[in-house]
Structure 1
Amino acid sequence: MSSTDLMTQRYGAPAPWRRRALLALVAVVVLVFGGWLTWTTVAHADPPVTSELVTFDTVDQHTVDATVQVDLRDADVEADCLLRAFAEDHSTVGELAFTPESSGRLDLTIRTERMATSVEKIGCTAEGQPRPR
């Protein structure tokens, strides 16, 4: 007699429905997670607005010109965008918040407190898009 038979005689056989119920529960959890993952991927794959810093040029002590490419998914999307200028010591010396009217390249001027050495595109956000892009 094997130890499994001994255990079955002593404690009784496990109920057959438990294994099926556990497998069904695991299958449901996997399907729900897969559906959520698919929905999340599709929802974030095509944001309402995207932007890219094309170039910038320091004009003088208090001015930086920047060119930004903004792409709006629909013409009626209202987006808010932000550019930030930094000095050589990495401190913020200027910011420009703007609302693009349409898709395309925008030439913008950022006023700064002192000489800026770099410009960072923080990004653009729209309703339903909390993360700047």
Structure 2
Amino acid sequence: MKEAQEFSYEDRYGKAGGNRWVAYAFAISIVGLLWIFWAGLHHANPSISSQLISFEVTGEKEISLRYSINRTDSDQVVICTLKALDQDKSVVGQIDDTIPAGERFSQQVTAIPTRSAPFTASIARCRAE
């Protein structure tokens, strides 16, 4: 008579491989976290930043916009695109305002001519020339 041996799934199906994917997942997550940390620090301090202070409708076809510019390099010439919008949020006026090199922080007051009655104004973007 045969002796009964202990049943083993490893003998029957072969030994399963280890969890090699864990090392790859760990490496990818470390690289991803480092990239997120770098991107957050890089975009937290832009070289040019702008802030809308106030706006005032000064006429039937004109709006005045007061805003501030902060730049890291005081020798940069900055061009800001300013928009005037009507009550339906359609663009009714747009100009490029050039701020010459000078102080790192400056405030500007600029009038935006419009084709119809303006309701609000905004800074579309500011960029270095």
- Residue 126 of structure 1 and its aligned partner are, at CA, apart by 3.9
More helix by share: 1
The residue matched to 1:50 in structure 2 has which SS? strand
From the superposition, tell whether residues 30 and 107 of structure 1 become closer, same or farther in structure 2 (CA, over 3 Å). Answer: same
The residue matched to 1:99 in structure 2 has which SS? strand
Please report the TM-score for the alignment, with normalisation by the length of structure 1.
Answer: 0.77
The one-letter amino acid paired with 1:55 is S
Structure showing greater radius of gyration is 2
Structure 1 partner of 2:97? 98
Aligned equivalents of 1:26, 1:90: Cα separation in 2: 47
Structure 1 partner of 2:51? 52
Ranges of 4+ aligned residues in structure 1 off by more than 6 Å: none
Structure 1 partner of 2:4? none
The one-letter amino acid paired with 1:62 is K
- The percent identity for this pair of structures is 23
The one-letter amino acid paired with 1:122 is A
The residue matched to 2:116 in structure 1 has which SS? coil
Aligned equivalents of 1:87, 1:25: Cα separation in 2: 54
Whether the aligned pair in 2 keeps the contact of 1:81 and 1:99 (CA below 8 Å) is yes
Structure 2 partner of 1:31? 30
The one-letter amino acid paired with 2:49 is T
The residue matched to 1:77 in structure 2 has which SS? coil
Matched residues, number? 120
